[in-house]
Chain A
Amino acid sequence: MTTLLAARELVKLYPGVRAVDGISFEVARGSCFGLLGPNGAGKTTTLEMLEGISQPTSGSVLYEGQPPDRRFREDVGIQFQNTALQDFQTVRESLTMFASLYGRTIDLGDLVAMCNLDDILERDTRKLSGGQRQRLLLAIALVNDPKLVFLDEPTTGLDPQSRRNFWDLIEDVRARGKTLVLTTHYMEEAQRLCDEIVIADHGRIIAQGKPGALVQEHFPASVVRLPVNAWSLGTPMPEDCEVRNGYIELFSEDVPPVLERLGRSGANLSELRVETPNLEDLFLKLTGHGLRS
């Protein structure tokens, strides 16, 4: 697979802050690339430099091997985290307005069907629900039939049902051969949608790779979780375990001996769970703090 977009040693300084501190990665054509990190990790700042909305203090962005030029604007679609649309416009009018700004456009009927906007076409954009609004903003990002789509925390603030529907939609977009770059702080979202992720914290990349491989690289195959109160007072807990959120966690490649040992320790095993470690665990291990803290 060829590289569509590359970040080379991106640095962004704001007075007193190194918001982004030397970030490099490559986005393969046709892939979905995830930029993960807690609030303030520099995700949005990095994304804005990739989008050409802000200029890096140093470092560069390459699109198809070249610095982005005018053609870049025609080729990309962007869904920002906070965007207002002009007031007093309907969904249809907003789409038509944005469509007129581009040389190439997607068939609007097709776009409306895809983003499920049929029922709200004549509605004032200020009267949309969170999910409807995100669908419209995605439709606007796709109105020029872009090769590359940026999505900045597209599902933040949506209820679980709307979030799942939005994931289906993003998978549709991908199926049309678009390259996607998205930021998120939902690990589940990254795990489901992304082929490749980077995890950033304090403006630096702390891990990079395919979601599954990254987890495997840092963790044994399973994690055994048991509430701390499974031990009656005075009974010693195993020494090699970590305690988090009221649970003890034991990571292991081989689960049966762990269970046996826990049984012998006199713990009440009725609430015991055996799970596969996920990105959430990885993030916690790498940064020492939760994603949304």
Chain B
Amino acid sequence: MLRRILAIFISRNREFYRDKAGLGWNIIMPFLMVFGFAFIFSDEPDNLFKVGVLTTDGELAAETSPFLAMLHVSFIPLSDSEAAIAKVERHQIDLLLDPEGDPSYWINTHSAKGYLAERLMQSAYAASGPLPRRQTVSGRALRYVDWVLPGVLAMNIMFSSLWGVGWVIVRYRKNGVLRRLQATPLSAFEFLTAQVLSRLAVVLTASMAVFVGADFFLDFVMRGSYLALLLVYLAGAMCLISLGLIVASRLRTEELADGVLNIMSWPMLLLSGVWFSMEGASFAAQVMSKFLPLTYVVDAARRVMVDGAGVVDVLPEISILLGTSLLLLLLAARLFRWD
């Protein structure tokens, strides 16, 4: 059995890497997207200073601090102090002020705007009394590229997984490759296993190349565990490949397969939080996003790369993805037809 799986695995790999056009596309495409976004978002979107203000009830009370009267500064009420401090570390806010009780503030020593915001605050307090206690954090700015990269990698895995098995197996069915293989002792399970393994190898290799390349050109942040990231993408690829196998189980024409794969991938592209956070989206969109496997991949990968999560932190997402994979695989094996 292993020998048969290996034979199909090898010949599928060969078919993939000898198809130079397809191979190039798999590697270049995500790069182009990352560069495109780096280019588009290279200018900061606004010039206001952003100051986070810790409040318990989400309301800004002007009397708590003279700083709040300052013009051309946007004050953002925040209630979770830990998350708020993380925002300072990532340059998402320039300064964080806690006006209640024993007033204190946080600034990032690496942030130029933080330095200016601190001067503004000092001038606001100059007339009214003692300054709040100064606390510093450090950390590089989180650019959009840093935030979007985990999603772009996940998206690339999605396309490669869905089309790499779905479209290929439908093509095999249409041109008779499957029928020829059916006439041998090869079982459907062996055949599908070989396809899944081959695609997993392709997806992970391509992602690694993109990861290394993007690191070289964009110098993005990677705060968490590399093992966690690998596991997240591996589980995600498994899940999406299994989804591709369902599409491939019966369809006979590439055109139809292409349409079905598009219908599956576009909602994920838009609603899984690849390009923008789903936090501000409508309730319906948020609920829908919970049914899309890519949501869990993007979410977990982002938590690893941006928030520095480890394996244990992303275990829930990995379990959901692997569980779903198992269900989809069983279904695909049941539905599978050679002809």
Contact = CB atoms under 8 A, between A and B. Distances in A.
Q: How many residues of A sit at the interface, in one of the four size bands?
A: 20 to 34
Interface string B80-101: 0000000000000000000000
B265 to A, nearest CB: 24
B173 to A, nearest CB: 10
A136 B138 CA distance: 67
Contact of B11 (A76, A84, A89, A103): A89
Interface string A83-97: 111111100011011
B140 interface: no
B14 A83 contact: no
A180 to B, nearest CB: 16
Interface residues of B, number: 26
B8 interface: yes
A233 interface: no
Given A54-B339, A87-B15, A88-B19, A100 B180 contact: no
Interface string A57-101: 000000000000010011010101011111111000110111011
B7 A86 contact: no
B177 A101 contact: no
A23 B52 CA distance: 84
B10 A83 contact: no
Contacts of B182: 53
A51 interface: yes
Tell me the interface secondary structure of chain B in the complex: helix
A102 B185 contact: yes
Interface in A107-155: 140, 144
A103 B8 contact: no
Contacts of B12: 86
Contacts of B133: none
A96 B338 CA distance: 22
B176 A82 contact: yes
Nearest to A137: B180
Tell me the interface secondary structure of chain A in the complex: loop
Contacts of A54: 339
B7 A73 contact: no
Nearest to B182: A53
Contacts of B172: 84, 86
Interface string B146-176: 0000000000000000000000000010011
Given A89-B15, A101-B186, A83 B7 contact: no
Contacts of B175: 82, 84
Given A80-B176, A84-B177, A101 B184 contact: yes
Contacts of B11: 86, 89, 93-94, 97
Contact of A88 (B3, B8, B18, B186): B18
Contacts of B186: 101
B120 interface: no
B6 A100 contact: yes
A100 B186 CA distance: 10
Contacts of B179: 53, 80, 83
Contacts of A53: 179, 182-183, 338-339
Given A84-B180, A97-B8, 18 more contacts: A53-B179, A73-B185, A74-B185, A80-B176, A80-B180, A82-B176, A84-B175, A84-B176, A86-B15, A86-B177, A88-B14, A88-B18, A89-B11, A94-B11, A98-B184, A101-B181, A101-B186, A102-B184
26 contacts: A53-B179, A53-B338, A73-B185, A74-B185, A78-B180, A80-B176, A80-B183, A83-B179, A83-B180, A84-B172, A84-B177, A84-B180, A85-B180, A86-B12, A88-B15, A89-B14, A96-B7, A98-B184, A100-B6, A100-B7, A101-B4, A101-B181, A101-B184, A101-B185, A103-B185, A144-B184
